Amino acid sequence: MNVTQRRFLNSTSTRTHNVTINKSMLNALNEPDLYRFFCLSLYRNRYYNVRLRIEDIAKITGEKESALKNFNKIMDTVLIRKRYLIPINHPVYEFTMRSLYKIPAIDNEGFITLSHKFTQVNLSVKVKGYYIKLLLIAENGIVPLTPRETASKLGMSKNTVTQYNIELHKAGLLRLSSDKLELTPNELLISNDEAIQKREWYPATKDLLPNITLSFDK
């Protein structure tokens, strides 16, 4: 195997079917970064470690790579990230640094389980992250808050919440009323009883990190 092939295999992961997101993360990340965390978590291996390049993550979220310039710094606030060397084909440098992201364990205080199909929904990264936040605060699919109350709880402007609600309604993910929001994620939200994420992840070692291939199949 040549250096280029090793570089690709060492920096990528395969997609899983769903992701659990702890309710404690509600205020830890803003809307776009929460969706980016969801996308990152989709590519965890069985030890709940993720090895992806920023350019790979941008492809998954559908953004330009420049939009993720602060991604690692932000992710450092919610997960453990370790850096490791991989060989590269370069006339001066033999190695470059890559990141290993360790996805947090399930929180006993509560979590939701979201399908990989959410990546196929035609909405912006911001709106998708907002929808995840609604799912985190919903009670049996209902957010018993007015738009103004929702905006206050999530630290957003009322106008932004109203606009996002309209976009979600058009996408069939939300029913609107004056005093509550009814979420309709259908097959996107999976029963927590079916969640496969373990309550603890394993430390990263060379033996626990097999070479795996990136797949962007929907």
Closest among 185, 129, 136 to 161, alpha carbons compared: 129
Per-residue confidence (pLDDT) for residue 90, from 0 to 100: 62
Per-residue CA distances from 128 to 11, 38, 89, 139 (Å): 26, 10, 38, 19
CA 55, distance to chain mean position in Å, is: 15
Q: Which two tokens stand for residue 64?
A: 């330009």
Q: Which two tokens stand for residue 148?
A: 């103004």
Per-residue confidence (pLDDT) for residue 203, from 0 to 100: 46
| CB contact at 8 A, 79 and 104 | yes
Domain residue limits, the chain: 3-121+187-208
Q: What is the pLDDT along the chain (218 residues), one digit of tens a residue?
A: 344 434 444 445 678 889 999 999 999 999 999 999 999 999 998 888 999 999 999 999 999 999 999 999 999 999 999 988 777 666 666 667 889 999 998 887 799 999 999 999 999 999 999 999 999 999 999 999 999 999 999 999 999 999 999 999 999 999 998 899 999 999 999 987 766 665 444 444 444 444 444 555 54
Per-residue confidence (pLDDT) for residue 202, from 0 to 100: 45
Per-residue confidence (pLDDT) for residue 171, from 0 to 100: 97
Report field, pTM of the whole predicted structure over 0.85: no
Closest among 159, 161, 120, 171 to 137, alpha carbons compared: 161
CA 181, distance to chain mean position in Å, is: 23
- Inter-helix orientation angle 125-137/31-42, to 10°: 90
